Protein backbone atom coordinates (compact mmCIF):
# COMPACT_ATOMS: atom_id res chain seq x y z
CA UNK A 1 0.00 0.00 0.00
CA UNK A 2 2.92 2.29 0.75
CA UNK A 3 4.35 1.67 -2.72
CA UNK A 4 0.96 2.37 -4.34
CA UNK A 5 0.64 5.61 -2.39
CA UNK A 6 4.15 6.73 -3.34
CA UNK A 7 3.49 5.89 -7.00
CA UNK A 8 0.22 7.83 -6.98
CA UNK A 9 1.90 10.74 -5.21
CA UNK A 10 4.62 10.86 -7.88
CA UNK A 11 1.97 10.76 -10.61
CA UNK A 12 0.12 13.61 -8.90
CA UNK A 13 3.33 15.62 -8.63
CA UNK A 14 4.01 15.17 -12.36
CA UNK A 15 0.42 16.12 -13.25
CA UNK A 16 0.64 19.31 -11.18
CA UNK A 17 3.83 20.20 -13.05
CA UNK A 18 2.21 19.43 -16.41
CA UNK A 19 -0.80 21.55 -15.54
CA UNK A 20 1.55 24.39 -14.59
CA UNK A 21 3.39 24.12 -17.91
CA UNK A 22 0.11 24.07 -19.85
CA UNK A 23 -1.03 27.20 -18.05
CA UNK A 24 2.26 28.95 -18.78
CA UNK A 25 2.21 27.94 -22.47
CA UNK A 26 -1.39 29.09 -22.84
CA UNK A 27 -0.70 32.40 -21.13
CA UNK A 28 2.43 33.06 -23.20
CA UNK A 29 0.47 32.45 -26.39
CA UNK A 30 -2.91 33.95 -25.60
CA UNK A 31 -2.00 36.80 -23.29
CA UNK A 32 1.60 37.98 -23.34
CA UNK A 33 2.01 37.13 -27.03
CA UNK A 34 -1.02 39.23 -27.92
CA UNK A 35 0.15 42.13 -25.74
CA UNK A 36 3.55 42.20 -27.42
CA UNK A 37 2.03 41.84 -30.90
CA UNK A 38 -0.26 44.77 -30.16
CA UNK A 39 2.74 46.76 -28.90
CA UNK A 40 4.61 46.08 -32.15
CA UNK A 41 1.60 47.09 -34.25
CA UNK A 42 1.17 50.29 -32.28
CA UNK A 43 4.84 51.25 -32.61
CA UNK A 44 4.88 50.43 -36.33
CA UNK A 45 1.90 52.71 -36.92
CA UNK A 46 3.59 55.78 -35.45
CA UNK A 47 3.95 58.70 -37.83
CA UNK A 48 6.54 61.06 -36.35
CA UNK A 49 5.17 63.87 -38.48
CA UNK A 50 2.00 63.83 -36.36
CA UNK A 51 3.46 64.64 -32.97
CA UNK A 52 0.35 64.48 -30.79
CA UNK A 53 -0.81 61.15 -32.23
CA UNK A 54 2.73 59.82 -32.04
CA UNK A 55 3.03 60.78 -28.35
CA UNK A 56 -0.24 59.02 -27.56
CA UNK A 57 0.84 55.85 -29.36
CA UNK A 58 4.18 55.85 -27.55
CA UNK A 59 2.30 56.19 -24.25
CA UNK A 60 -0.04 53.33 -25.21
CA UNK A 61 2.96 51.18 -26.14
CA UNK A 62 4.63 51.85 -22.80
CA UNK A 63 1.44 50.81 -21.01
CA UNK A 64 1.33 47.57 -23.02
CA UNK A 65 4.99 46.84 -22.26
CA UNK A 66 4.42 47.45 -18.54
CA UNK A 67 1.42 45.15 -18.60
CA UNK A 68 3.52 42.48 -20.34
CA UNK A 69 6.18 42.79 -17.64
CA UNK A 70 3.54 42.37 -14.95
CA UNK A 71 2.18 39.25 -16.68
CA UNK A 72 5.68 37.78 -16.94
CA UNK A 73 6.21 38.33 -13.23
CA UNK A 74 3.01 36.42 -12.54
CA UNK A 75 4.27 33.57 -14.73
CA UNK A 76 7.52 33.54 -12.77
CA UNK A 77 5.48 33.02 -9.59
CA UNK A 78 3.71 30.09 -11.22
CA UNK A 79 7.06 28.49 -12.04
CA UNK A 80 7.73 28.49 -8.30
CA UNK A 81 4.75 26.21 -7.71
CA UNK A 82 6.55 23.84 -5.36
CA UNK A 83 7.70 26.71 -3.19
CA UNK A 84 4.16 28.02 -3.19
CA UNK A 85 2.81 24.72 -1.87
CA UNK A 86 5.54 24.88 0.78
CA UNK A 87 4.11 28.25 1.86
CA UNK A 88 0.82 26.51 2.61
CA UNK A 89 -2.15 24.96 0.88
CA UNK A 90 -4.19 28.15 1.14
CA UNK A 91 -1.68 30.05 -0.99
CA UNK A 92 -1.47 27.27 -3.58
CA UNK A 93 -5.27 27.09 -3.94
CA UNK A 94 -5.45 30.89 -4.12
CA UNK A 95 -3.03 30.85 -7.04
CA UNK A 96 -5.19 28.34 -8.94
CA UNK A 97 -8.23 30.53 -8.32
CA UNK A 98 -6.37 33.64 -9.46
CA UNK A 99 -5.43 31.99 -12.74
CA UNK A 100 -9.02 30.95 -13.37
CA UNK A 101 -10.10 34.50 -12.59
CA UNK A 102 -7.63 35.91 -15.09
CA UNK A 103 -9.46 34.13 -17.92
CA UNK A 104 -12.39 36.47 -17.39
CA UNK A 105 -14.73 33.65 -18.44
CA UNK A 106 -16.62 33.22 -15.17
CA UNK A 107 -18.21 35.08 -12.31
CA UNK A 108 -16.33 33.72 -9.33
CA UNK A 109 -16.61 33.52 -5.57
CA UNK A 110 -13.86 32.12 -3.39
CA UNK A 111 -14.08 31.74 0.37
CA UNK A 112 -10.51 30.72 1.24
CA UNK A 113 -10.03 30.25 4.98
CA UNK A 114 -6.73 28.38 4.71
CA UNK A 115 -4.38 31.32 4.03
CA UNK A 116 -3.32 31.79 7.66
CA UNK A 117 -3.55 28.19 8.87
CA UNK A 118 -0.21 27.09 10.29
CA UNK A 119 -0.61 23.31 10.09
CA UNK A 120 0.47 21.55 6.89
CA UNK A 121 0.45 18.08 5.39
CA UNK A 122 2.76 18.19 2.32
CA UNK A 123 1.56 14.97 0.67
CA UNK A 124 -2.11 15.76 1.20
CA UNK A 125 -1.57 19.39 0.14
CA UNK A 126 -0.22 18.27 -3.23
CA UNK A 127 -3.17 15.95 -3.79
CA UNK A 128 -5.73 18.59 -2.77
CA UNK A 129 -4.09 21.06 -5.18
CA UNK A 130 -4.41 18.51 -7.97
CA UNK A 131 -8.03 17.82 -7.01
CA UNK A 132 -8.89 21.50 -7.46
CA UNK A 133 -7.02 21.58 -10.79
CA UNK A 134 -8.98 18.56 -12.01
CA UNK A 135 -12.29 20.07 -10.92
CA UNK A 136 -11.48 23.33 -12.71
CA UNK A 137 -10.44 21.42 -15.85
CA UNK A 138 -13.70 19.47 -15.87
CA UNK A 139 -15.70 22.68 -15.52
CA UNK A 140 -13.78 24.42 -18.31
CA UNK A 141 -14.08 21.45 -20.70
CA UNK A 142 -17.63 20.32 -20.06
CA UNK A 143 -19.82 22.47 -17.82
CA UNK A 144 -20.51 25.64 -19.87
CA UNK A 145 -20.91 27.39 -16.52
CA UNK A 146 -21.19 31.12 -15.89
CA UNK A 147 -20.82 31.15 -12.10
CA UNK A 148 -18.42 29.13 -9.95
CA UNK A 149 -18.34 29.25 -6.14
CA UNK A 150 -15.46 27.71 -4.19
CA UNK A 151 -15.29 27.31 -0.44
CA UNK A 152 -12.35 25.83 1.44
CA UNK A 153 -12.06 25.75 5.21
CA UNK A 154 -10.76 23.74 8.15
CA UNK A 155 -13.18 22.39 10.77
CA UNK A 156 -13.12 19.58 13.34
CA UNK A 157 -9.73 18.24 12.19
CA UNK A 158 -10.94 18.03 8.61
CA UNK A 159 -10.32 20.02 5.47
CA UNK A 160 -13.47 20.87 3.53
CA UNK A 161 -13.45 21.76 -0.18
CA UNK A 162 -16.71 22.64 -1.91
CA UNK A 163 -17.10 23.67 -5.55
CA UNK A 164 -20.44 24.57 -7.11
CA UNK A 165 -21.19 25.73 -10.67
CA UNK A 166 -24.31 26.54 -12.69
CA UNK A 167 -23.47 24.78 -15.95
CA UNK A 168 -25.41 22.31 -18.07
CA UNK A 169 -25.08 19.51 -15.51
CA UNK A 170 -25.28 15.78 -16.19
CA UNK A 171 -26.92 12.61 -14.95
CA UNK A 172 -24.28 11.25 -12.61
CA UNK A 173 -25.70 7.71 -12.46
CA UNK A 174 -25.75 7.39 -16.26
CA UNK A 175 -22.22 8.77 -16.56
CA UNK A 176 -21.02 6.30 -13.92
CA UNK A 177 -22.74 3.31 -15.57
CA UNK A 178 -21.41 4.16 -19.02
CA UNK A 179 -17.91 4.64 -17.58
CA UNK A 180 -17.66 8.08 -19.19
CA UNK A 181 -16.72 9.99 -16.07
CA UNK A 182 -12.98 9.28 -16.04
CA UNK A 183 -12.27 12.66 -14.47
CA UNK A 184 -14.79 11.95 -11.73
CA UNK A 185 -13.29 8.52 -11.11
CA UNK A 186 -9.87 10.12 -10.74
CA UNK A 187 -11.25 12.52 -8.14
CA UNK A 188 -12.83 9.68 -6.18
CA UNK A 189 -9.65 7.58 -6.33
CA UNK A 190 -7.45 10.38 -5.03
CA UNK A 191 -9.83 11.39 -2.25
CA UNK A 192 -10.06 7.75 -1.09
CA UNK A 193 -6.26 7.50 -1.15
CA UNK A 194 -6.02 10.08 1.65
CA UNK A 195 -8.98 8.63 3.57
CA UNK A 196 -11.38 11.39 2.54
CA UNK A 197 -14.96 11.40 1.32
CA UNK A 198 -16.40 12.99 -1.80
CA UNK A 199 -20.00 13.70 -2.79
CA UNK A 200 -20.86 14.63 -6.36
CA UNK A 201 -24.28 16.01 -7.16
CA UNK A 202 -25.47 17.01 -10.62
CA UNK A 203 -28.63 17.13 -12.69
CA UNK A 204 -29.11 18.21 -16.29
CA UNK A 205 -29.61 22.01 -16.55
CA UNK A 206 -28.99 22.41 -12.80
CA UNK A 207 -25.21 22.51 -12.72
CA UNK A 208 -23.20 20.45 -10.30
CA UNK A 209 -21.54 20.54 -6.91
CA UNK A 210 -18.62 18.62 -5.43
CA UNK A 211 -18.06 18.35 -1.69
CA UNK A 212 -14.82 16.88 -0.36
CA UNK A 213 -13.87 16.23 3.26
CA UNK A 214 -10.37 15.06 4.19
CA UNK A 215 -8.88 14.30 7.63
CA UNK A 216 -6.20 16.98 8.17
CA UNK A 217 -3.33 17.08 8.75
Count of the separate structural domains present in the chain: 2
Nearest Cα to 148, choosing from 139, 138, 158, 157? 139
Measured CA distances, 187 to 51, 91, 182, 184, 193 (Å): 60, 21, 9, 5, 10
175 CB burial (10 A radius; 0-12, 13-18, 19+): middle
Q: Say if residue 63 is in the same domain as residue 122.
A: no
Tell me phi and psi for residue 159, to 5 degrees: -95, 130
Q: Say if residue 110 is in the same domain as residue 211.
A: yes
- Note whether residue 48 is domain-resident: yes
Q: What is the structure's pLDDT at 182?
A: 62
Q: Say if residue 63 is in the same domain as residue 152.
A: no
Q: Say if residue 149 is in the same domain as residue 197.
A: yes
| Distance in angstroms (rounded) separating the CA atoms of residues 28 and 60 | 21
Q: Say if residue 68 is in the same domain as residue 135.
A: no
- Note whether residue 60 is domain-resident: yes
95 CB burial (10 A radius; 0-12, 13-18, 19+): buried
Q: What is the structure's pLDDT at 100?
A: 87
Give the model confidence (pLDDT) of 105-155 as tens digits.
899 999 999 988 888 888 888 889 889 989 998 898 889 999 999 999 999
> What residue numbers bound the domain in which 13 lies?
1-79
Q: Say if residue 49 is in the same domain as residue 141.
A: no
| Distance in angstroms (rounded) separating the CA atoms of residues 39 and 27 | 17
Give the model confidence (pLDDT) of 70-112 as tens digits.
878 777 766 655 555 667 889 889 988 988 888 788 999 999 9
Q: Specify the CATH number for the domain of residue 193.
A: 3.30.565.10
pLDDT at 23 over 60: yes
Half-sphere exposure of 166 (CA within 13 A, CB side): 8
Q: Say if residue 110 is in the same domain as residue 210.
A: yes
Q: Say if residue 147 is in the same domain as residue 62.
A: no
Q: Which residues of 136-167 are buried (b: 16+ CB within 10 A; e: fewer)?
A: bebbeeebebeebebebebeeeebbbbbbbbb
Say whether pTM exceeds 0.85.
Answer: no
- Note whether residue 90 is domain-resident: no
Q: What share of the chain is helix, strand, coil (3-state, %, to 5)?
A: 60, 15, 20
Strand partners, 155: 158
193 CB burial (10 A radius; 0-12, 13-18, 19+): middle
Give the model confidence (pLDDT) of 171-189 as tens digits.
877 777 766 656 788 899 8
The angle, 0 to 180 degrees and rounded to 10, between the axes of the packed helices 33-44 and 51-79 is 160
What DSSP letter does each residue of 2-37 carry, written as one string? HHHHHHHHHHHHHHHHHHHHHHHHHHIIIIIHHHHH
Amino acid sequence: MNQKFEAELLKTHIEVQEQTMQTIASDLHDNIGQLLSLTALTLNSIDIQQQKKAEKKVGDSLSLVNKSIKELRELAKLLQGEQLVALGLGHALQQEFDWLKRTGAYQLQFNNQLIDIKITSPNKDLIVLRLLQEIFNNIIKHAKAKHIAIDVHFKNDSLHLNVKEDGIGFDYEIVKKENRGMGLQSLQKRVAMINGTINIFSEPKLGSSITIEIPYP
